[in-house]
């Protein structure tokens, strides 16, 4: 509910009208600005706290892997205990709480090192997609016209191919290594970020503050970088958080398909799933444990991303 200030003594009618309009636009706004309101609502969201706790746990395990893992990434401390028909399971050997895999590697160590590998792939690939998508969206949203049409038709072509299939195709072309996986996943995410930023910029370009800046004679580049882009980037940040979950899952899928490269015994959750297929009958935990790690990590990013989206939604910010 807006509050109209009483006219100041001696003020003109035009001045009084201006004061009333300005006050009406800010009467119900929370103090501290947009981002202050977003963080305030995030602090009150149980979903955000659960998601953030999972993400922080994942990040800490990945960063502290050299300290937490009992054995080095490619060490095979239990190879002597492996036979074609017997793989020690959880609790069977005191020094290996979660058992061994087919190569004699400690499952606990591989899960910890796998978190580091998954975090690296997820963050780098999402950064590739975010940078590429924002560049395309920024150019399309700024210049419009034929430039916008050309970029958006290219984006439409990329969107016509399922993202995972596109990532598989790119990774197969570039070769079987971790860098190829990161580039492939990043390219598959580019059209999503490009369309999102472009749509947000087009919405902001019709706002009153942009029209006022144009009236004052500011150039298109300055208006875009100082007014439009800062106000249009919010949805892209939310999508970036959600895309981290997708990147972790896609990285595991590409490794599962054998496109991740590296040595077979190297710790990576998707690769662990690949080699667990042959032992499902005698060692099902080898597939269950990395699978549950992938699912929980993706859940954490998704919960936090959804909470961030709700906090930035103009339809719910006033609650």
Per-residue model confidence (pLDDT) at position 27: 41
CB atoms within 10 A of CB 100: 25
pLDDT for 252-291, tens place per residue?
888 888 787 666 667 788 888 888 887 787 888 888 998 9
More confident residue, 24 or 188: 188
Q: Looking at residue 12, what is its pLDDT?
A: 43
What domains, with CATH codes, occur in the chain?
Answer: 31-74+91-312 (1.10.3720.10)
The confidence score (pLDDT) of residue 32 equals 57
Between helices 234-256 and 269-276, what is the axis angle to 10°? 30
Q: What is the mean pLDDT of the chain?
A: 80
For residue 10, pLDDT beyond 50 = no
Torsion of CA 60, 115, 110, 84, to 10 degrees: 150
Cβ(136)–Cβ(194) below 8 Å: yes
pLDDT at 233 (0 to 100): 83
What's the rounded Cα separation, in Å, for the pair 235 and 240?
9
Whether the model clears a pTM of 0.85, i.e. scores above it, the answer is: no
Per-residue confidence (pLDDT) for residue 283, from 0 to 100: 82
User: How many other C-beta atoms can be found within 10 angstroms of the C-beta atom of residue 84?
Assistant: 7
Over residues 51-61, mean pLDDT: 93
Identify the pLDDT of residue 317: 53
Least Cα distance to 95 among 80, 78, 112, 120 occurs for: 78
Spatial contact of 42 and 311, defined as CB atoms under 8 Å apart: yes
Q: What is the pLDDT of residues 117-159, one digit of tens each?
A: 888 888 999 999 999 999 999 888 888 889 989 999 999 998 8
Q: pLDDT of 87-106, one tens digit each?
A: 777 877 878 888 888 777 88
pLDDT, residue 311, reads 82
The answer, yes or no, to whether residue 181 has pLDDT greater than 50, is: yes
What integer pLDDT is reported at residue 49 of this predicted model?
A: 93
Question: What is the rounded distance in angstroms from the CA atom of residue 194 to the CA atom of residue 236?
Answer: 9
CB contact at 8 A, 234 and 247 = no
Percent of the chain with pLDDT over 90: 22
Question: Which residue has better confidence, 315 or 212?
Answer: 212
pLDDT of residue 19: 35
Residue 173 neighbours by CB distance under 10 Å: 9
Q: Please give the C-alpha separations between residue 298 and each of 14, 122, 210, in angstroms, as whole numbers.
A: 57, 10, 38
pLDDT, mean of residues 302-317: 78
Assigned token pair, 103: 């190569």
């Amino acid at each position: 509910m807006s509050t109209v200030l009483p006219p100041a003594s001696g003020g003109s009618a035009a001045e009084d009208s201006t004061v009333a309009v300005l006050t009406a636009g800010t009467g119900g706004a929370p103090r501290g600005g947009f981002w202050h309101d977003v963080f305030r609502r995030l602090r009150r969201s149980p979903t955000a706290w659960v998601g953030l706790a999972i993400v922080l746990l994942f990040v800490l395990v990945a960063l502290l892997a050299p300290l937490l893992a009992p054995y080095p990434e490619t060490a095979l401390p239990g190879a002597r205990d492996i036979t074609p028909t017997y793989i020690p399971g959880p609790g069977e050997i005191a020094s290996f709480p979660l058992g061994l895999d087919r190569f004699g590697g400690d499952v606990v160590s591989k899960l910890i090192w796998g978190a580091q590998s998954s975090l690296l792939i997820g963050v780098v690939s999402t950064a590739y997609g975010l940078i590429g998508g924002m560049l395309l969206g920024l150019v399309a949203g700024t210049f419009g016209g034929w430039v916008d049409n050309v970029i958006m038709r290219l984006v439409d072509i990329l969107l016509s191919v399922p993202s995972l299939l596109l990532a598989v195709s790119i990774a197969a072309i570039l070769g079987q290594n971790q860098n190829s996986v990161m580039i492939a996943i990043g390219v598959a995410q580019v059209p999503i970020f490009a369309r999102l930023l472009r749509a947000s910029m087009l919405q902001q370009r019709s706002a009153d503050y942009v029209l006022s800046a144009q009236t004052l004679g500011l150039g298109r580049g300055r208006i875009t970088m100082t007014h439009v882009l800062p106000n249009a980037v919010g949805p892209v940040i939310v999508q970036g958080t959600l895309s981290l979950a997708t990147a972790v899952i896609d990285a595991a899928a590409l490794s599962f398909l054998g496109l991740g490269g590296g040595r077979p015994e190297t710790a990576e959750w998707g690769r662990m799933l690949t080699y667990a297929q042959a032992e499902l009958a005698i060692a099902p935990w080898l597939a269950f444990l990395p699978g549950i790690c992938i699912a929980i990590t993706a859940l954490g990013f998704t919960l936090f991303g959804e909470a961030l989206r709700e906090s930035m939604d103009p339809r719910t910010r006033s609650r």
